[in-house]
Amino acid sequence: MLASNVPTTLFMQAKTHTLLLHRFCSRLGLIAALLLALGANAQPNNWSEIKTPSSGPASAIGSPGNGCLAGAETLPEEGNGYVNIRRHRNRYYGHPELLRLIEDLGKTLGKSDALLMIGDLSQPRGGPMSSSHRSHQNGLDVDIWLPLATSAQAAQQAFPEGNNPPSLVSTDGTQIVSGWGKAQRLLLKTLAEDIRVDRLFINPAIKRTLCESEKENRNWLHKLRPWFGHDAHVHVRMKCPTSDKDCEAQAPLPAGNGCGSELAWWFSDEAKKPSKPTRPPKPPAIPPAACKALLHDH
Ligand SMILES: [Zn+2]
C-alpha cells in the first residue's frame, strides 16, 4: 500500500510543483507585460499613435528632422498616374503643397501602365516615426521609388513590407547596374526643375551617372544631393511654403552642380570607412513648442 502510494505521492507533488511553476510563470509574464507597458509609457512614441490629422489650416512646423504638421491632407491610395504603397504604415499624410506636387508628377509622368510608386510621406500630424526615417516630420518629405509599376495591384503585391524594389546600384556602390532608363532620368529632372522642390537625396552612383551623361544643361544636377542608400528611391524635400511662418528652412545648398570634388568624396576610402565620431552625440533636439501643443490637441 505504502509502496504503491509512493509514485502517486510523487506524481501529486510533481503536479503541484508544475501548477505552482505555471502560476509563477504566468505572474512573471504579467509582470513583464506590466514592465513593458511602463517602459512604453516612459518613452512613448505618441506621434505614431495619433491616427488623425489636426483640423485647421495646414502648416509645416519646424524642420524635416525635428518638426510636425498641422492640417495635413490625406494622399489617396491611387491617383492619376501614381499609386501609394504600404498604406498599413499610416504615413500617407502631407502638406497640401506636397500632395499637389505628387498629383502634378503623376499627371505629367505617370501612365496607366507605368505608375509612379509613392512611398512614405508623414504621419497624420508628422513628428518622429518609430522606424525607417529620421526626417519626414513636417509634411514636406516624400519617398518616390525609381521603378515604375505596371498597375496599382501589381505594386501592392510586389512590394509588401520588407520587400523593397531592387537596388539600381552595384553592391560596391560604384555604378548603376539595372533599372535605369529615360523614365528615371525624367523623374529626377522634373523634380529638380520644380521650383517647389528644395533638394533630392539620391545614391552617389546615380548622381555620378548623371554628371557623366548630362552634357548640355547640368544646372538641375545642383539639387541632387548624394546620400547613403537611396539606390531604389529618391527622397524629395520641398521648400518651406511661404505662408508657413513656423517652418524652418534648411541651409542653402552649396553653389555649383556638385559633380566635382564633393561627389568624388563619396567614392573615397574615407567615405567607405567613416572614422569614429570624436565628439559626443548631440542631445535630442527639443521639439518646437507648436508641436507639443499639436501632439496634445485631441
Ligand atoms: Zn525619405
89 CA from centroid of ligand 1 (Å): 14
Sign, CA dihedral 169-174-180-184, equals: positive
234 CA from centroid of ligand 1 (Å): 7
Q: What is the pLDDT of residue 31?
A: 42
21 CA from centroid of ligand 1 (Å): 49
94 CA from centroid of ligand 1 (Å): 13
142 CA from centroid of ligand 1 (Å): 6
20 CA from centroid of ligand 1 (Å): 52
174 CA from centroid of ligand 1 (Å): 21
14 CA from centroid of ligand 1 (Å): 58
Q: Does domain 46-272 have CATH number 3.30.1380.10?
A: yes
Q: What is the pLDDT of residue 280?
A: 76
Q: What is the pTM of this model?
A: 0.82
4 CA from centroid of ligand 1 (Å): 73
114 CA from centroid of ligand 1 (Å): 22
- Show pLDDT as tens, one digit a residue, over the chain (298 residues): 333 343 444 444 444 444 444 444 444 444 444 333 333 333 345 898 899 999 999 999 999 999 999 999 999 999 999 999 999 999 999 999 999 999 999 999 999 999 999 999 999 999 999 877 889 999 999 999 999 999 999 998 888 888 888 999 999 999 999 999 999 999 999 999 999 999 999 999 999 999 999 999 999 999 999 999 999 999 999 999 999 999 999 999 999 999 999 999 999 988 887 666 667 777 778 999 999 889 887 6
202 CA from centroid of ligand 1 (Å): 10
**What are the residue boundaries of the structural domains of the chain, listed by start?**
46-272
Q: What is the pLDDT of residue 273?
A: 78
Q: What is the pLDDT of residue 26?
A: 47
Q: What is the pLDDT of residue 85?
A: 94
Q: What is the pLDDT of residue 285?
A: 83
Sign, CA dihedral 237-239-245-247, equals: positive
Q: What is the pLDDT of residue 274?
A: 67
235 CA from centroid of ligand 1 (Å): 4
122 CA from centroid of ligand 1 (Å): 10
Q: What is the pLDDT of residue 277?
A: 66
